[in-house]
Structure 1
Amino acid sequence: MTGTRPVNCIIPPYILEKLLESDDRDVRQDALDTLLTTARLRGERAVRSSFAGAAAPGDGRRTIFDCKHSRFLDLADLARSEDGPESADASANRAFDALGLTRDFYREVFQRNSIDGRGMRLNGYIHFGVKYKNAFWDGQEMVFGDGDGVKFGDFTGSLDVIAHELTHGVTDFTAEFEYHNQSGALNESISDVFGTLVKQWALKQSVEEADWLIGTEVWTPGIDADALRSMKAPGTAYDNPLFGRDPQPDRMSKFVHMPDTEEGDNGAVHYNSGIPNKAFYLTAMRIGGYAWERAGHLWYESLKASEAHFQFQDFADVTYRKAGELYGDGSAEQLAVLAAWQEVGIQISGIPAGVARARILEVDRNGAAGREDGLAGVHRQLGALSAQVTELAREVAALKRAG
């Protein structure tokens, strides 16, 4: 694992930057403090991450520390350990439980031993800073701010947020997607995908029952917003005077172009993650059932088969290939992938758009994913037709010989 990853924060910079436009001096100052703290942490992260790969294995054992509103992790006190009693601090218990659910999800669903696959210990730090409006993974541990209680709540209260951040660690130890432009947007999208899968798995929700929202608990009740992001409908998670409108695109025709700088969100990584997010949602809905099963396995295997520089096209092609390997060429799962990427404006390499549309229409005419139809049915029909043509040719040849 390289040592060049930035601090991965759940709150995109464009949300905090909106607060800098507020007429309220205290709101502006709180937002500025959070942004400056995050910038400082980026420098520390480069140093800390160089030691992350050497973290002692511990079968995913959890330890929660209390920063007591300090910004120095080394000064934090023990709040709860794997073998210790429940804490009197609700934030410590929420963080402890969420780390455990995420660990158990990866273990039970994908047979992965903690974040690094080798039993990496899971350390969490609560009450970081004063009114710190974020939560982040820094390469070794999870860190939680308390929010300001007015716009942002305690970040230990959102399971999918915590799973999102821990999944940045999984990505660090697998594909290592470079954190800029399309590969950076894939990095963010993977965290949203598995963040929502952990939540759906914990609640035992089917694809129809899930809300497909990321961070519904982050906003306080006083904020008119559904969530930080919507995987079902990117660009619709919030729309209010304070934060503006959710800027995520849901297809390539709306792709956001920004500079590959910190001010440009590293090439709009938090914006454009909406496109692969929508592709996963569409794939899971076409396949049906529990998203962490077939769709989740497909995305996880594709993540492991990916490379750091991958663009959306590369990842789309890998998901299509993996669907064929896992479920069969022409399977309903593979057609679900084909349809999903086409809907967000990405054609699978080697399959002309017209052919892709014909295959998808075949599935739609014959019913839901999972039936014996679609491309597999087309292949069988072609095989039967070929056999008929061959037999007809033999009969013609026999008639000529007889004549």
Structure 2
Amino acid sequence: MCHFVPGYVLQKIAESEAIPEEARQAAIRTLSVDQDFREQRVQALTRGEATTAPVDSDIPAAQAPIVRSGFVPPGILEHVAQSELLDDETRENARVTLRSDAKIREQRAALVGPAATDQPHDPAAVALVLRRAIYDGRNRSALPGTLTRAEGALRTRDRQVNNVFDGVGITVKFFHTVFGRNAIDGNGGTPRVTVHHNPDPETLGYNNAFWNSDQLVFGDGDGITFDYFADSLDVVAHELTHAITEHSAGIPYSKQAGGLNESISDIFAALVEQWHFNQTAADADWLTGQNLFPIAFKGAALRNIANPGTAFNDPILGQDAQIDHFSKYNDSLDVHITSGIPNRAFYLIAINFGGHAWLKAGKIWYETLKDPEVRRFGQDITFKNWADVTVNQADKLFGVPASIVVRNAWVSVGVLI
């Protein structure tokens, strides 16, 4: 699993003295649960146990191991876990999230990317299929929970249920309208979604969101450091893009491949928001996770695609650790940190093309994601591998001038020479 909130962020929450003890405890518990889950999954994979697919999708079972894609990086959680500005409970909450996420990262690093399961289709002939099913986790660990809203049902009194229902719909419609893609697998497979998830009901709330190869899962946050992940369109789009990446290319989640995987989700989440609000590349803010913070947060967002490393400098969450140039890269860095390199390259490409970023830069990234060459790279794919394919796709789609723009951006971030 790849969580939206990185473990190092949860650790910061767990150690912060600036928040209540209950919030620290919630972060600690989140870390612990994620760590336990990863160990269990490693054992299951060692025994050769198959994974399962959503019952309401066309995705074949046993195609890929269950792993998470978490939104909040571990570094931020570490800051929360260590903050003297938080109480013990808030710090413990961050530590729990960190320990849980750490186990999942270990599992993910040991895995080879899953086989891509995209269904071939003619974009011009694809009819959009939406089969959303939103479940209420009821602040418990069991998944998926209680079905609360299915496709075609009226809105409920639960804001998170309605917001994630809408967010999945907007994201699926974006990929269909812009790229002709029919849901996550190209064949109408729409994952189940759980809101109000909490691995430990004794804590304030789960400080993350993730895709686990079976469904999307969203915590409510602790209400002190993070708040209601399902309310943010970019978080929903980010996690759903992990599902698309898994089915299109099977890019793994460690080293350069992991940074690339995270970047792809950041980029398409930004494009979904820009498309939904009809923003040009120049008008967009290029921020991710800007609506997650219920406290007096000192920063703009969790990540800044345009200028990685500048999203925040906060006494509880610490300083944004993302890097923007390959000279700063090493394999020990968290994938949420190294994703800043391809993020920055994409931003430069989008700005140089001008207009709506999904029309050219987004098209190049999407076609690269589907390119058989990317699948052949497998678990060893590097930033340079991806960059080379984007240059080739730019030339194929838009000609030599476009390929020069793409190449120059990759040179600017040190990936190409």
State the TM-score, normalizing by the size of structure 2: 0.76
Pairwise mapping of residues 156-235 of structure 1 onto structure 2 (< 5 A)? 156-235=230-309
- Residue 52 (structure 2) aligns with: 51
**How much does 1:249 deviate?**
0.5
2:3 to 6, 9, 19: 9
Q: Does 1:268 align with 2:334?
A: yes
Give the superposition deviation at 1:45.
6.1
Q: 1:92 aligns with which of 161, 166, 172?
A: 161
TM-score normalised over the length of structure 1:
0.78
Alpha carbons 2:301, 2:312 under 8 Å: kept: yes
What SS does the corresponding residue of 2:138 show, helix, strand or coil? coil
- CA RMSD between the two structures: 1.9
Counterpart position of 1:21: 15
- Largest Rg, 1 or 2: 1
The structural deviation recorded for 1:43 is 5.3
Residue pair 2:56, 2:192 contacting (<8 A) in 1 also: no
Q: 2:86 — aligned with what?
A: none
Change (3 A) 1:173 1:43: farther
The match for 1:311 is 382
Q: Which residue of the partner structure matches residue 103 of structure 2? A: none
Distance in 2 (alpha carbons) for counterparts of 1:227 and 1:180: 24
Deviations 1:77-119 (A, max 9, x none): 2211111111111111001000100110111111111011111
1:122 Cα offset (Å) = 2.9
Matched, 1:337 2:406: yes
Q: How does 1:3-402 map to 2 (within 5 A)?
A: 7-23=1-17, 25-42=21-38, 50-52=51-53, 56-57=57-58, 59-74=129-144, 76-129=145-198, 130=201, 131-258=205-332, 267-305=333-371, 306-307=374-375, 308=378, 309-328=380-399, 330-331=400-401, 333-347=402-416, 353=417
Residue 126 of structure 1: SS of its match in structure 2?
Answer: strand
Partner of 1:394: none
Could you say if the C-alpha distance between residues 245 and 94 of structure 1 is closer, same or farther in structure 2, counting changes exceeding 3 Å?
A: same
Conservation of the 8 A alpha-carbon contact between 2:303 and 2:309: yes
From the superposition, tell whether residues 34 and 182 of structure 1 become closer, same or farther in structure 2 (CA, over 3 Å): same
Matches of 1:20 and 1:49, distance apart in 2: 35
**CA shift in 2, pair 1:288/1:49, >3 Å:** farther
Give the number of aligned pairs: 331
Offset of 1:157 from its aligned partner? 1.3
Instruction: Give 1:390's aligned residue.
Output: none
Query: Where does the alignment leave 5 or more consecutive residues of structure 1 unmatched?
Result: 1-6, 259-266, 348-352, 354-403
Shift of 1:251: 0.5
**How much has 1:304 moved relative to structure 2?**
1.2
SS at match of 2:148: strand
Could you tell me which amino acid in structure 2 is paired with residue 279 of structure 1?
A
Contact 2:23/2:225, CA 8 A, preserved across alignment: no
* 200 and 116 in structure 1: CA distance in 2 versus 1, 3 angstrom threshold: same
Greater RCO (CA < 8 Å, at least 6 residues apart): 2
Instruction: In structure 2, give the amino acid aligned to 1:88.
Output: R
Equivalent pair of 2:245/2:261 in contact (CA under 8 Å):
yes
CA distance in 2, matches of 1:45, 1:325: 41
Structure 2 alignment gaps of length 5 or more = 60-128
How far apart, in 2, do the equivalents of 1:82 and 1:102 lie?
15
Identity %: 41
| Counterpart for residue 395 of structure 1 | none
- Separation of aligned partners in 1, 2:56 and 2:251: 21
Between 1:96-105 and 1:58-67, the stretch displaced more is: 58-67
Aligned to 1:378: none
Q: CA deviation at 1:52?
A: 2.8
Q: CA deviation at 1:136?
A: 0.7
CA distance in 2 between counterparts of 1:326 and 1:254 reads 32
Q: How far off its partner does 1:53 sit?
A: 8.4
Work out the CA distance in 2 between the residues paired with 1:322 and 1:341: 14
**CA deviations over 1:186-236 (Å, ceiling 9, x no partner):** 000000010111111111100011000011111124222211100000000
Aligned-partner Cα distance in 2 for 1:192–1:207: 15
SS of the residue 1:80 aligns to: strand
Shift in Å at residue 141 of structure 1?
Answer: 1.1
**Structure 2 CA distance for partners of 1:43 and 1:56, relative to 1, 3 Å:** farther
Write the distance in 1 (CA, Å) between the matches of 2:350 and 2:269.
15
Q: Which residue type is aligned with residue 195 of structure 2?
A: I
Query: In the TM superposition, what is the alpha-carbon distance from 1:179 to its structure 2 partner?
Result: 1.0
Deviations 1:346-387 (A, max 9, x none): 22xxxxx5xxxxxxxxxxxxxxxxxxxxxxxxxxxxxxxxxx
